[in-house]
């Protein structure tokens, strides 16, 4: 690209003037009489307005700095002189509050409506959030053909702060008869363990976490036996006291151990969450079992189905003979103990509360661990405002993902 782009052609005007031409030497003289000649892409976008002026974008303007890395972009208002001997000096009408940042690319595109209202964005504006660089963009609206600017409210609220990661957490608890065989208080121990994990999260309306629970045992649909029960959907309870009271009411279902069927059920529960399609909501499943599954032949397929939905699974078992199943559930690889917890007895559950909490926090802060999640590590490149358009009523701003 050259030092600047010359815009040639006929500009049509809705008003008293029907049309006129801008000659090459006039535009060239205009460019040579602006201090922005040293900036690349002068004239990337150009708009004519009725007071015989041009709004001209300078998306790589350095604002007087010689450091290309500091280029933030800008917009100039340039009067049109019909006498080629007259010199035209462009005025800088770039927003100053809030200030532009380096490499914003302000002016890559902008639009102006018939009333002189301008919408212009800095689509390359980046933010560093928890070590990740996010390109969220930022937009301004101007009146008087860009003489007065303010942040565009609908976009300012969208990207003024670092994204707030959320987590949908689903506990899937084995409710088979064997849970309480050795000790009738084992299931109560499990419920307290769930509460001890949950109380570390904020599950209120303004909090970042939502919790649900499935209890499972026998699943024989051909015999009309289905003991895979959603005790409560994700996000049903908005306070820990409500959640705790609901946990106290849950009774052991009794029966066999159909873990594969429970995992399939879990995918439906996650999809029922209002935040399922929100890219900022991480999904975590914590499964606890005390024995081998009665539908082991379908376990790998069900676990894969869970992972394909970008759900991170943590598997907890209390017997040594379930280790391989826990590995299949947690990560799909026999021999891989990532997110696998094996205990000898239910009384040891409290010893892993902090570790489970940290596993969930790691997922919600760093992104999904699923290899199928193409935007791992929580990176979001939305580039708000990379293009804009006006119709008779609305200003349309693109948000690229």
> Which pLDDT belongs to residue 129?
58
Q: 4 lies in a domain?
A: no
Q: Output 256 or 71, whichever has higher pLDDT.
A: 256
pLDDT tens digits, one per residue of 287-300: 999 999 999 999 99
Same domain for 256 and 157, yes or no, is no
> Which pLDDT belongs to residue 88?
60
Same domain for 261 and 156, yes or no, is no
Q: 307 lies in a domain?
A: yes
Same domain for 23 and 121, yes or no, is yes
Q: 1 lies in a domain?
A: no
How many domains is the chain built from?
Answer: 2
Residue 139 and residue 397 in contact, taking contact as beta carbons nearer than 8 Å: yes
Q: How confident is the model at residue 156 (pLDDT cuts 50, 70, 90)?
A: very low
Q: 103 lies in a domain?
A: yes
Same domain for 186 and 116, yes or no, is no
Domain span at residue 132 reads: 9-162+380-399
Same domain for 223 and 361, yes or no, is yes
Q: Record the pTM.
A: 0.57
Same domain for 393 and 310, yes or no, is no
Same domain for 195 and 67, yes or no, is no
**pLDDT > 70: what percent of the chain?**
69
Same domain for 149 and 259, yes or no, is no
Handedness of CA 251, 255, 259, 263 (dihedral sign): negative
Q: How confident is the model at residue 345 (pLDDT cuts 50, 70, 90)?
A: very high
Pick from 52-61, 129-138, 178-187: least confident = 129-138
Same domain for 157 and 282, yes or no, is no
The answer to whether residue 330 scores a pLDDT higher than 90 is yes
Q: Average pLDDT over the chain, rounded to whole? A: 78
Could you give the CA distance from residue 31 to residue 48 in angstroms, rounded to a whole number? 15
User: Residue 324 belongs to a domain with what CATH number?
Assistant: 3.40.50.410
Same domain for 147 and 178, yes or no, is no
Q: 44 lies in a domain?
A: yes
What's the per-residue H, E or C state across the chain?
CCCECCCCEEEECCCCCCEEEECHHHHHHHHHCCHHHHCCCECCCEEEECCCEEEEECCCCCCCCCCHHHCCECEEEEECCCCCCCCCCCEECCCCCCCCCCCCCECCCEEECCCCCEEEECCCCEEEECCEEEEEECEEEEECCCCEEEECHHHHHHHCCCCCCEEEEEEEEECCHHHHCCCCCHHHHHHHHHHHHHCCCCCCCCCCEEEEEEEEEEEEHHHCEEEEEEEECCCCCCCHHHHHHHHHHCCCCCCCCCHHHHHHHHHHHHHCCCCCCCCCEEEEEEEEECCCCCCHHHHHHHHHHHHHCCEEEEEEECCHHHHHHHHHHHCCCCCCCCCEEECCCHHHHHHHHHHHHHHHHHHHHHCCCCCCCCCHHHCCEEEEEEEEEECCCCEEEEECC
User: Residue 72 belongs to a domain with what CATH number?
Assistant: 2.130.10.130
Q: 3 lies in a domain?
A: no
pLDDT tens digits, one per residue of 304-320: 999 999 999 999 999 87
Same domain for 242 and 386, yes or no, is no
pLDDT tens digits, one per residue of 331-342: 999 999 999 999
Pick from 11-15, 88-92, 105-109, 195-199: least confident = 11-15
Q: 2 lies in a domain?
A: no
Q: 88 lies in a domain?
A: yes
Same domain for 127 and 216, yes or no, is no
């Amino acid at each position: 690209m050259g030092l600047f782009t010359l815009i040639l052609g006929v500009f049509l005007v809705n008003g008293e003037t029907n049309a006129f031409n801008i000659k090459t030497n006039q535009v060239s003289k205009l460019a040579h009489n602006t201090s922005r000649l040293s900036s690349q892409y002068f004239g990337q976008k150009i708009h004519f307005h009725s007071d015989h002026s041009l709004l001209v974008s300078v998306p790589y303007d350095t604002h007087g700095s010689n450091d290309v890395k500091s280029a933030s972009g800008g917009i100039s208002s340039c009067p049109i002189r019909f006498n080629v001997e007259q010199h035209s000096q462009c005025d800088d009408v770039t927003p100053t509050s809030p200030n532009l940042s380096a490499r914003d690319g302000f002016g890559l595109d902008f639009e102006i409506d018939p009333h002189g209202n301008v919408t212009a964005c800095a689509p390359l504006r980046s933010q560093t959030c928890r070590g990740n660089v996010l390109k969220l963009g930022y937009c301004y609206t101007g009146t008087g053909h860009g003489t007065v600017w303010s942040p565009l409210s609908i976009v300012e609220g969208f990207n003024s702060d670092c994204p707030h990661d959320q987590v949908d957490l689903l506990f899937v608890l084995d409710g088979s008869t064997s849970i309480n065989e050795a000790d009738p208080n084992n299931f109560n121990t499990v419920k307290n363990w769930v509460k001890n994990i949950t109380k570390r999260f904020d599950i209120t309306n303004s909090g970042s976490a939502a919790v649900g629970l499935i209890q499972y045992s026998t699943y024989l649909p051909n015999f009309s036996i289905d003991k895979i029960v959603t005790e409560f959907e994700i996000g049903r309870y908005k306070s820990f006291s409500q959640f705790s009271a609901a946990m106290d009411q849950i009774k052991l279902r009794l029966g066999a151990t159909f873990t594969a069927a429970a995992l399939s059920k879990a995918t439906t529960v996650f999809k029922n969450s209002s935040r399922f399609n929100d890219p900022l909501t991480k999904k975590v499943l914590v499964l606890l079992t005390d024995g081998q599954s009665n539908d082991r032949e379908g376990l790998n397929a069900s676990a894969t189905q869970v992972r394909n939905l970008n759900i991170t699974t943590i598997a907890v078992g209390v017997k040594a003979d379930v280790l391989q199943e826990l590995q299949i559930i947690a990560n799909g690889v026999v021999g891989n103990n990532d997110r696998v917890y094996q205990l000898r007895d239910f009384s040891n559950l409290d010893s892993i509360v902090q570790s489970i909490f940290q596993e969930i926090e790691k997922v919600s802060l760093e992104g999904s661990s699923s290899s199928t999640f193409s935007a791992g590590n929580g990176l979001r490149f939305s580039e708000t405002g990379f293009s804009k358009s006006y119709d008779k009523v609305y200003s349309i701003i693109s948000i690229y993902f």
